[in-house]
C-alpha cells in the first residue's frame, strides 16, 4: 500500500474526513477523479505523472460539499486554487485537508496558513518554457496574432467545457447567461466566440492559477492557457501580484497603487 493510500485509509478510518478526493484509474488506464468514502477503498488511489486535473474544481460542487469534510490530493496549482478560493470567501478554514503526495511521505496541510507556507516555498512563476512561448507569440505581428485567434475561435463550439473544468468559474450565474441585457450573443459565431473568450480571460485576470485544465478540457484544442498566462504575466509584471498565494490577499484588479503605470493614458 502506498503512503498516499495509507494516509487516505487512516483519515477515513478515523473519520477525520468523510471523503478523499483523489485520482484513480479510469477506463483505458487514464487518470480520473475518484471520491473515496470508505477506508477499505483507499487502495483505489493512484498518483503519477498522468494525474493532472485540478481537483479543487470539485470543492465548489454542491453535491461534493454534501459529502462532508474532504481530503484533497493536490498538485501545486490545486493548492493555489484553494488559497484563491479562500481569498474569494468560497471555502472556509478547516473545511478540508490537502494531501501533498510525494514518494516518501505524504504532507498533510490542514490550515490555510500551512498551505500558504507550502506554496511560498514553491515557484509560482510561469515556467521558462511558458515564458518563452509567450515571448514568441508576442513577437508575432498584430495581424498574425489576429489571424491566429480568429482561426482558433472559429472552432469554438461555446460548449463551455473550459468553464466547467475551471475551479474558479464557480459563479452560479455567468455573464454569458445574462440576457437583460444580452452581453454575449448566444450562437457560436465569430463575434460571440471572441467576446466569450475575452470575457472569460478578463474575469480570470488576477485570479487564474494557471492549472491548465481549461485547455485540457477544450474539445477543439484552443490554447486557452496562452490567454491566461498572458494575464498572469501582465498582472505580475504590472502590479507585482500573484493569485493563489494567500488566503486573504485582495485581488489584483480590485486593488490599485496610486503609481500604477499609465504611459498609455493621455
Partner 1 sequence: MARIGVFICHCGENISATVDVMKVAAEAAKIPGVAHSVEYKYMCSDPGQQLVKNAIREKGLTGVVVAACSPRMHEPTFRRACAEAGLNPFLCEMANIREHCSWVHEKGDATTDKAIDIVRTLVAKVKKNKALQPIKVPVTKVAMVIGGGIAGIQASLDIANAGHQVILVEKEPSIGGHMSQLSETFPTLDCSQCILTPRMVEVAQHLNITLFSYAELESLDGFIGNFKARIRKKARSLDEKLCTGCGLCTQKCPSRRIPSEFDAGLGLRPAIYVPFPQAVPNKPVIDREHCTYYRTGKCRLCEKVCPTQAIRFDQQDEIVEADVGAVVLATGFDIKHGDFFPEYGYGKYRDVIDGLQFERLASASGPTLGEIRRPSDGRVPETVVFVACAGSRDPAKGIEYCSKICCMYTAKHAMLYKHKVHHGKPYVFYMDIRAGGKMYEEFVRRAMEEDGVQYVRGRVSRIFERGGKLVVKGVDTLLAARPLEIEADLVVLATAGIAQPGAEELAQKLHVSYDAHKFYAEAHPKLRPVETNTAGIFLAGACQAPKDIPESVAQASGAAAKVAALFSQSELVREPLIAVVDRQAPPVYSSCVGCFLCQSACPYQAIEKEEIRGRDGQLLKTVAKVNPGLCQGCGTCVAFCRTKSIDIQGFSHEQVHAEVLALLNRGERDA
Partner 2 sequence: MPDFEPKIVAFVCNWCTYAGADLTGTSRMKYSPQVAIIRFPCTGRIDFMLLLKAFASGADGIIVSGCHPNDCHYSSGNFHARRRWIVFRGLLDFLGIDVRRVQFSWVSAAEGAKWAQLVNETAEHIRGLGPFTGYQRLRGLGVE
Contact residues for partner 2, defined by CB under 8 A: 137-138, 142-150, 175, 183, 185, 187, 189-192, 194-195, 198-199, 201-202, 205-206, 226-227, 230-231, 234-235, 238-239, 252-258, 260-262, 264-266
State the nearest-atom distance from the C-beta of 92 to partner 1, in Å.
Answer: 10
- What number of residues does the chain have? 266
Residue window 85-104: x/- pattern of binding to partner 1, with contact defined by CB under 8 A: ---xxx--------------
Grid coordinates belonging to 208: 487564474
Per partner kind, with CB cut-offs from 5 to 8 A, the member of partner 1, partner 2, none near residue 180 is: partner 1
Per partner kind, with CB cut-offs from 5 to 8 A, the member of partner 2, partner 1, none near residue 201 is: partner 2
Q: Which is nearer to partner 1, 161 or 253 (CB)?
A: 253
Q: Which is nearer to partner 1, 52 or 171 (CB)?
A: 171
Grid coordinates belonging to 177: 447567461
Q: How many CB atoms lie within 10 A of CB 187?
A: 8
Stretch that binds partner 1, among 69-77, 137-145, 209-217, 247-255 (CB under 8 A): 247-255
Q: Which is nearer to partner 1, 73 or 252 (CB)?
A: 252
State the nearest-atom distance from the C-beta of 213 to partner 2, in Å.
Answer: 20
The greatest distance separating any two alpha carbons of the chain, rounded to the nearest whole angstrom, comes to 66
Q: Select from 171, 186, 191, 220 the one that contacts partner 1 (CB under 8 A).
A: 171
Q: How many CB atoms lie within 10 A of CB 234?
A: 14
In this structure, the dihedral spanned by the alpha carbons of residues 143, 145, 151 and 155, taken in order and rounded to 10 degrees, is -150
Phi-psi region of 221 (alpha: psi -120 to 50; beta: other; left: phi over 0): left
Q: Which is nearer to partner 1, 3 or 253 (CB)?
A: 253
Q: Which is nearer to partner 1, 170 or 236 (CB)?
A: 170
In this structure, the dihedral spanned by the alpha carbons of residues 225, 163, 97 and 8, taken in order and rounded to 10 degrees, is -90
Distance, first Cα to last Cα, the chain: 65
CB 232 within 8 A of CB 194: no
Q: Which is nearer to partner 1, 70 or 176 (CB)?
A: 176
Per partner kind, with CB cut-offs from 5 to 8 A, the member of partner 1, partner 2, none near residue 107 is: none
- Please work out, in degrees rounded to the nearest 5, the angle formed at the alpha carbon of residue 3 by the alpha carbons of 112 and 77: 40
Q: Transcribe 60-126 into DSSP letters.
A: G-HHHHTT-SEEEE--HHHHHHHHHHHHTTSS-TTSEEEEE--SS--EEE-SHHHHHHHHHTS--SP
Per partner kind, with CB cut-offs from 5 to 8 A, the member of partner 2, partner 1, none near residue 242 is: none
Grid coordinates belonging to 162: 473550459
Q: Which is nearer to partner 2, 26 or 238 (CB)?
A: 238
State the nearest-atom distance from the C-beta of 237 to partner 2, in Å.
Answer: 10
> Rounded to whole angstroms, how far apart are CA atoms 101 and 47?
7
Give the interface with partner 1 as residue ranges (CB under 8 A): 88-90, 170-175, 178, 180-183, 203, 250-251, 253-255
Amino acid at each position: 500500500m502506498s503512503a498516499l493510500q495509507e494516509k487516505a485509509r487512516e483519515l477515513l478510518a478515523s473519520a477525520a474526513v468523510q471523503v478523499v478526493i483523489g485520482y484513480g484509474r479510469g477506463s483505458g488506464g487514464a487518470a480520473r477523479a475518484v471520491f473515496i468514502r470508505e477506508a477499505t477503498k483507499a487502495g483505489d488511489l493512484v498518483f503519477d505523472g498522468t494525474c493532472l486535473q485540478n481537483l479543487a474544481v470539485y470543492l465548489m460542487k454542491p453535491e461534493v460539499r454534501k459529502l462532508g469534510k474532504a481530503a484533497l490530493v493536490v498538485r501545486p496549482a490545486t493548492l493555489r486554487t484553494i488559497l484563491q478560493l479562500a481569498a474569494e470567501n468560497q471555502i472556509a478554514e478547516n473545511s478540508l485537508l490537502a494531501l501533498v503526495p510525494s514518494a516518501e511521505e505524504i504532507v498533510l496541510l490542514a490550515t490555510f496558513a500551512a498551505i500558504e507556507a507550502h506554496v511560498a516555498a514553491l515557484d509560482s512563476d510561469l515556467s521558462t518554457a511558458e515564458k518563452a512561448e509567450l515571448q514568441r507569440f508576442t513577437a508575432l505581428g498584430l495581424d498574425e496574432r489576429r489571424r491566429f485567434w480568429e482561426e482558433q475561435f472559429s472552432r469554438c463550439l461555446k460548449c463551455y467545457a473550459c468553464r466547467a473544468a475551471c475551479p474558479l468559474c464557480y459563479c452560479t450565474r455567468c455573464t454569458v447567461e445574462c440576457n437583460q441585457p444580452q452581453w454575449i450573443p448566444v450562437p457560436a459565431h465569430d463575434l460571440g466566440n471572441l467576446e466569450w473568450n475575452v470575457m472569460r480571460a478578463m474575469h480570470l485576470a488576477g485570479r487564474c492559477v494557471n492549472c491548465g485544465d481549461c485547455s485540457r478540457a477544450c474539445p477543439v484544442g484552443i490554447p486557452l492557457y496562452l490567454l491566461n498566462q498572458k494575464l498572469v504575466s501582465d498582472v505580475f509584471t504590472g502590479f507585482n501580484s500573484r493569485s493563489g498565494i494567500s488566503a486573504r490577499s485582495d485581488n489584483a484588479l480590485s486593488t490599485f497603487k496610486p503609481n500604477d503605470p499609465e504611459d498609455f493614458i493621455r
